[in-house]
Every structure is written in C-alpha cells, then in structure tokens.
Amino acid sequence: MSNPQSPPRVLGRGSWAEASRIAEVLRKETIGGALLLIGAAVALIWANSPWAHRYEAMTALTIGPHSLHLDLSLATWAADGLLAIFFFVAGLELKREFVAGDLRDPRRAAVPVAAAIGGVLVPALLYVVVNSGGALKGWAVPTATDIAFALAVLAVIGRHLPTALRTFLLTLAVVDDLLAIVIIAVFYTAHLSLLPLLAAAVPLGLFALLVQRRVRSWWLLLPLAFATWALVHASGVHATVAGVLLAFAVPVLRSRGTGPGLGLAEHFEHRFRPISAGVAVPVFALMSAGVAIGGLDGLAQALTDPIAVGIMLGLVVGKPIGILLATWLVARFTRARLDSGLAWIDVTGLAVLAGIGFTVSLLIGELAFGIDSDADDRVKIAVLAGSLIAAALAMIILRARNRVYRQIYEAERVDRDHDDVPDVYQK
C-alpha cells in the first residue's frame, strides 16, 4: 500500500475497498444514464412532432392538494419532487465519501475538490462575460456535471477504462453536486418564508433522531421525509435541498458493537440509488428536455443567442479549462503526481467529459428563467448542444488512449496470490 505521507496522486486509483464500491455505484449510474438519454430523446422527438401539444399538456397537467399548496404541474413535481430523491442519494454519497471514503484524507480530497471548484468558477465567468449586459441569472447553468450522462458516454467508449479515471470522475461529480446544492439554496431562492422553514426543523429533527438510532422502518421515516420536503418547498427554498438535509442526517458508520453489514447511509443508498437513477432522473429528463426547436432556422437562432452561447462556452470550454487549471495548480503546489501509466491527456479527456451538463443544468435553467419561458427553451437547446459536443470531444480524446487503458485495466485484475484483491492494491 502507498505511504500515507507520500504526495497525493492525480488520478490515483485509491483503496481496493473504495474501488470495489465505486465500481458497483458506476454500474447502476451507467444504466441510469442510458435511461436518461432515452427519456431526453423521447421528450425532444415528442416536442417536435405533430403531437407536441400533447407533450405540453402532459407536462402542464396539475395534480396535488391545493390546501397544502402542492397543486403542482407534472414538470414541477419532477423538478421539485423526483430530483429531491436524486439529491438525497447525492447527499448520502457525499457524506460517505468525506466520512468513510478515501476523501476523508484531506490530501486525497484536495485534487477532486479543487477540480470541482475550478469547474464551477470558470464556466460561470465565461457565461458572465458573454452576457455582461443581459441575462446574468443563468450564470450557474453551465457549472454542473451530469454523472449519469457522462457514465453513459464512458460505457460507449469502452469497458476498459482504468479505475483511477472512473473514480476521479465520480468524486469530482460528488463535490460538483455539493456546489450545485449550495448555489441553488443561496442564489435561486426568490423569496423566503421563515415560518415553514423553521417548522421543517421538526420533522427533520425527528427523522435525524430515528436514523441515529438506526431505525429503518419506512412507515416512520417516509412521512417525516415528506413533511420536511413539503415545508422546505413552502418556505421558498428549492425543495431538492430537503433531500440533501435528510441525507446529511443519516449516519455513515455502524454503531459500536454491531456485527458486519452495511451502515445505514450505505443501506439507504442501495435502496434509493436504483430509484434515483432508474426513475427520478429519466422522468425528469422526459418532463424537462422537450423543447420545440423550430427547424434549422430556429436552431440557428437559438444557438446564436447570448444565453446559449454563454452556456455552450461554459460547458465545452470553461469546464475543461477550470478543471485542468485547478488540477495542475494542486499538482504543482502539493507535488502530486499522475498515477502510473496515465498522462495529462487523460486529465484533459475527463475534464472535457465533465462538460456534459444535463440534469442539474436544466434544473438551474428552470429556476433562473422560469419553466417554459423563451429563455428556458434556449437553455435547453444550449445544454443539449453543449453536452453533445463535450461528449463527442471526450470520446475522441479518450478513445485515442484506449490501448493504454486496456493495459492498465488488465494489470488491475492480476491476482497472483488468489486473495480476491488485485496485486496493484497491495503495493
């Protein structure tokens, strides 16, 4: 094993336990990414078909109790409700990484955290420069990385990508999600009602008390979680923030004296990740990605709008520059070095891949400009176009290194002593 005092590694593969867990997570997210792409494609085709009015009627259909101010459209339920599940899982993953994962070591965390911060700041700056005299509200749209979409692209590229690349992408995306949550809570709260927000502390506190006592009974926890979500929604803070607060209340480590098995956070993650990846995110894509393009003329007009130009520049140029620059600076000042067999072109490929922004980018676009507004339509077109360009460029860069990746992949599976732990993790 590596010396704990040795310099941190850029694209290090981490420990075997963490690599095994991340491999399982990525398998589920890859399937979710394929479903997300299907949902987005269906929405886009439907919204540009002769039956587009039916798509609009479906997303605008209002359901829910009016007395609780929850008579929301299906599109809003998808954005505020289903994505709360997505952020709940993201919160569990984030807490686990920093409490029990490899990122609990600040030296290991430095590289992906810096990369995520750089990948938020530079795209936002580029957007602001392009829109300095106009729609500044959309500055955060190009700052988010869609891990499910990115992993779907990785699945197309090939099965032999080294563990270090997948781990770096996931940990960067986890921190990216945290930054997105903070941005949504701080910058996209139009009005704040203190009474519902304070009232939300009651069910949240009860939820925290039960999970700290390792209670798993759904009939106790789900009503408290829903009450927390509903009160946060009523407060004016975006309801997805409730998912993160609930996740942060869940303990990661098992209580003392208990036998082997999953901690409660990992137990919930196993239960809810398939729902998040397989239902919540694809349905959100179906409800949000549909935009009428208006033929080639409409597409050209939309893509030359400053909002769209700022978003595409942020995703395709800003994300790679921010991630690469931050990663290089950390490596320069901490003397971090690349893992064996990898090169800076691999960091470049991942940085370009991180320019795939979809789920959270669409959500922020809706919060910034309003659902179904003209500006929101331009956001959707720009996010789709920018993400596709980033995906294509990343595929070109990473596929050019496929022979190297295959060699590393095969070396990572050598187990001469047959102890079910590859030899590279025992050095």
pLDDT in tens, 39-78: 999 999 999 999 999 999 999 999 998 877 788 999 999 9
15 within domain boundaries: no
Domain count, the chain: 1
Contact 214, 255 (CB under 8 A): yes
- Give the mean pLDDT of 120-134: 93
Q: Output the pTM of the full model.
A: 0.87
Distance CA 102, CA 93 (A): 12
> Which structural domain, as residue segments, surrounds residue 300?
28-189+238-254+262-415
Which domain CATH number covers 183? 1.20.1530.10
The DSSP secondary structure of 290-354, one letter per residue, reads -----HHHHHHHHHTSHHHHHHHHIIIIIHHHHHHHHHHHHHHHH--EEPTT--HHHHHHHHHHT
Sequence-distant (6+) residues with CB within 8 A of 297 are none
pLDDT score of 1? 43
Q: Is 108 inside any structural domain?
A: yes
Give me 68's structure tokens.
Answer: 């609780």
- Cβ–Cβ < 8 Å for 157, 395: yes
Most confident region among 49-58, 146-155, 248-257, 412-421 by mean pLDDT: 49-58
Of 302, 290, 266, 228, nearest to 78 (Cα)? 290
Q: How far apart are CA 145 and CA 359, in angstroms?
A: 8
Dihedral sign of CA atoms 304, 307, 312, 314 in order: positive
Q: What are phi and psi of 400, to 5 degrees?
A: -65, -20
Q: Which residues contact 419 (CB under 8 A, 6 or more apart)?
A: none
Residue 48 in tokens? 């540009």
pLDDT tens sequence across 260-318: 456 788 889 889 999 998 899 999 999 999 998 888 888 888 899 999 999 999 999 99
Q: Which of 231, 177, 171 is nearest to 205 (CA)?
A: 231
How much is the pLDDT for 24?
72
| Cα–Cα distance measured from residue 37 to residue 123, given in angstroms and rounded to the nearest whole number | 24
- Res 134: pLDDT: 78
- Over range 155-161, report the average pLDDT: 70
pLDDT in tens, 389-404: 999 999 999 888 888 8
Query: Is residue 316 included in any domain, yes or no?
Result: yes
pLDDT confidence tier of residue 2, bands split at 50, 70 and 90? very low
Collect all residues with Cβ–Cβ distance below 8 Å to 302 and sequence separation of at least 6.
Answer: 293, 294, 308, 377, 378, 381, 382
Average pLDDT value for residue range 17-21? 70
Q: Please tell me the predicted confidence (pLDDT) of residue 7.
A: 58
- The closest alpha carbon to 12, from 337, 413, 349, belongs to 337
Q: Is residue 60, in this structure, part of any structural domain at all?
A: yes
The length of the chain in residues reads 427
The reported pLDDT for the residue numbered 256 is 59
| Average pLDDT, integer, range 171-196 | 87
Q: What is the mean pLDDT of residues 341-364?
A: 90
Mean pLDDT over each residue of the chain, to the nearest integer: 86
Q: What is the pLDDT of residue 12?
A: 67
The verdict on residue 230 lying in a domain is: no
**Side chain identity, residue 338:** L
Q: How confident is residue 415, by pLDDT bands cut at 50, 70 and 90?
A: confident
**Cα end-to-end distance, the chain, whole Å:** 4
In a domain, 93, yes or no: yes
Beta bridge mates, 112: none
> Does 242 map to a domain?
yes
Q: Would you state the structure tokens that stand for residue 202, as one six-digit string?
A: 């009651």
Who's near 318: CB < 8 A, 6+ residues apart?
119, 122, 123, 124, 125, 126, 127, 142, 355
Q: Give percent of the chain with pLDDT exceeding 70.
A: 92
pLDDT, average across residues 89-111: 81
226-245 pLDDT, tens per residue? 999 999 999 989 899 999 99
pLDDT band at 138 (very low <50, low <70, confident <90, very high): very high
Question: 354 and 319 in contact (C-beta within 8 Å)?
Answer: yes
Structure-token pair, residue 416? 């001469």
Q: What is the pLDDT of residue 124?
A: 96
Looking at residue 319, its pLDDT comes to: 96
pLDDT beyond 60 at 104:
yes
